[in-house]
Structure 1
Amino acid sequence: MRIYLPTTMAGLARLRDEGSLPASAERYLAGGDTEEEEYAALMAAAADSAELLDGPGRRVVVVADVADPDGAVPLRDVVAVHADPHERPAGADPDDDLGWYATQELGALLGY
């Protein structure tokens, strides 16, 4: 099952360092296999990510394929990360597109 988890750059660093996101993390399920449903889940998670920011920053959405949609999300289940390409001001247009990053790009995305 594909899930979309809103987080921040700090949350993404914790995922990389600790190896998972907690079970309590907010998450959105793609209701089916259509691109429209996946996009809706992505944008809902992006909106929640923006709310996690205290001022300017980058929205981050972790995408994972998991067996248990309510459990912790291990890094090995992450299939991609969507993030703003650069820091955006508080109150920026919520419909701005997010960049797509492979899991191998986490270090570069985090600036390591």
Structure 2
Amino acid sequence: MRVYLPSTLPALARAAAEGELGPAPLTGYAVTPALTEWYASGDTEELEYVALTEAARASLRMLAADRADGVAAAPRRVVVAVEVPDGALSMGTDLEERARVRLAESVPMAKVAAVHIDDDGAAGDIEAAIAALPASDGGDDDARFTVDGAEAHELMWYATQEIPDLLG
């Protein structure tokens, strides 16, 4: 099953150095039965896009957490697409997170299918979204609009052999 794991550039660099994405458990997003039932009119490609978008939202929160911890993280959302056996994950029942899955084990970098990352041109909107997250979570509609604005940027697709160049 294709699973989209939210990440950041520092976390991707650690994974590349260690040879695996982890430690487990990992939260990811995938085309789950609950997502398929909720989005009944969508084809597989549309459903995968929904899961990718959910992972990008989680990546934004990871960026904010890194910044709060003093980690210098570039303002670029990162989503790592991995292929894992269906038995390696569990699916939640939370209606708010129809695409969320949990992986019980770390994922070897050999299972990475692709990496999706914001273009450098998105940096300003990503910075604004990170700054607006606390107010958005507090119910501020203007802040929520700013956070949602990050999604106006499509993530760029990169092959696994391009990971060293992305980190360099």
Partner AA of 1:62 in structure 2: V
Once residues 78 and 14 of structure 1 are traced to their aligned partners in structure 2, the CA distance between those partners, rounded to angstroms, is 14
User: Equivalent of 2:107, from 61, 65, 73?
Assistant: 73
Mark the runs of 5 or more structure 1 residues left unpaired by the alignment. Answer: none
SS of corresponding position for 1:94 = helix
Partner AA of 1:6 in structure 2: P
Write the mapping of 1:98-109 to structure 2, written as runs, cut at 5 A.
98-109=155-166
Q: Which moved more, 1:46-55 or 1:10-19?
A: 46-55
User: Equivalent of 2:80, from 34, 37, 62?
Assistant: 62
Moved over 6 A (4+): none
Which residue is equivalent to 1:3?
Answer: 3
Q: How many residues align?
A: 111
Q: Which moved more, 1:31-40 or 1:44-53?
A: 31-40
Which residue is equivalent to 2:63?
Answer: 53
TM-score, normalisation: structure 1: 0.90
Which residue is equivalent to 1:94?
Answer: 150
Higher helix share: 2
Once residues 49 and 28 of structure 2 are traced to their aligned partners in structure 1, the CA distance between those partners, rounded to angstroms, is 14
Are residue 26 (structure 1) and residue 27 (structure 2) matched?
A: yes
Which residue is equivalent to 2:132?
Answer: none
Mark the runs of 5 or more structure 2 residues left unpaired by the alignment. Answer: 37-42, 68-73, 90-102, 130-145
Once residues 46 and 12 of structure 2 are traced to their aligned partners in structure 1, the CA distance between those partners, rounded to angstroms, is 25
TM-score, normalisation: structure 2: 0.61
SS of corresponding position for 1:79 = strand
Question: How far 1:88 moved relative to its partner?
Answer: 1.3
Once residues 37 and 108 of structure 1 are traced to their aligned partners in structure 2, the CA distance between those partners, rounded to angstroms, is 29
Q: Which moved more, 1:14-23 or 1:32-41?
A: 32-41
**Aligned Cα RMSD in Å?**
1.8
SS of corresponding position for 1:28 = strand
Identity of aligned residues (%): 44
